[in-house]
Structure 1
Amino acid sequence: MALYEHVMIARQDLSNAQAEGLIEHFGAVLADNGGKLVDSEYWGVKTMAYKINKNRKGHYAFLRSDAPSAAVQEMERLMRLHEDVMRVLTIKVDAHEEGPSVQMQKRDEREPRRERRA
């Protein structure tokens, strides 16, 4: 099975519990199709750079999965059909990073940026 990372943006008028319920729902979709949800993070409500469907903000969620491509395709299909999900990005990765994502780390915990070359 392949490793994937997904970022999902849900409508801003959902409650936090409903947004986290979407994570569980799509994790169950993966499990039903032979995959598994390795890890998930709820990033909270964030302001977007531009409006999507007349929404200025959205609930962001991050999912790590280990699933066959058919399971990921089915999950993405259901996400596109779901009225609460505005955008989805799926990336195939070679390995999952340990610990929380960069979005959840505090600034002082992150690795320092590299120097720019002139």
Structure 2
Amino acid sequence: MAKKRRLIIEEPEENYEFSPTEFNEREFILKDIYGTKVCLVTLLMGLIVGIIGGVLCNIGFRNGIDYMWIIATLISFAVAGLMTRILALLGFRPDMIETKSMIGNYLIYLALALGVCIIISNPPLTPLV
């Protein structure tokens, strides 16, 4: 017996047209510049807090005070915790910055403050401070 052939009916393809959303280039550039300014201020704060921490550690090491590094660490974490308020006092609006960028700013600040503190409190630069 012969099998019946089933007719395959082709369904019409859906026509999909890609319509890009409106891209405001000026707004994008201004937001990027704003984030860069906040990052530079964060770097400057990390540098200042690192120098203060290094000086505190040097004073502690010279006078036999072993806990000055704890005070320097607490100062750096306190400034990191107050960073949004400090930025607001400086005229920046931290709410305009994305959360990922702000987390990056916190990490950069902590790494820079720790690095500068370690460099200043070690022998090549210790006599200069």
TM-score, with normalisation over the residues of structure 1?
Answer: 0.29
Structure whose residues are more often helix by fraction:
2
Greater strand share, structure number: 1
The structure with the largest alpha-carbon Rg is 2
Taking structure 2 as the reference length, what is the TM-score of the superposition? 0.27
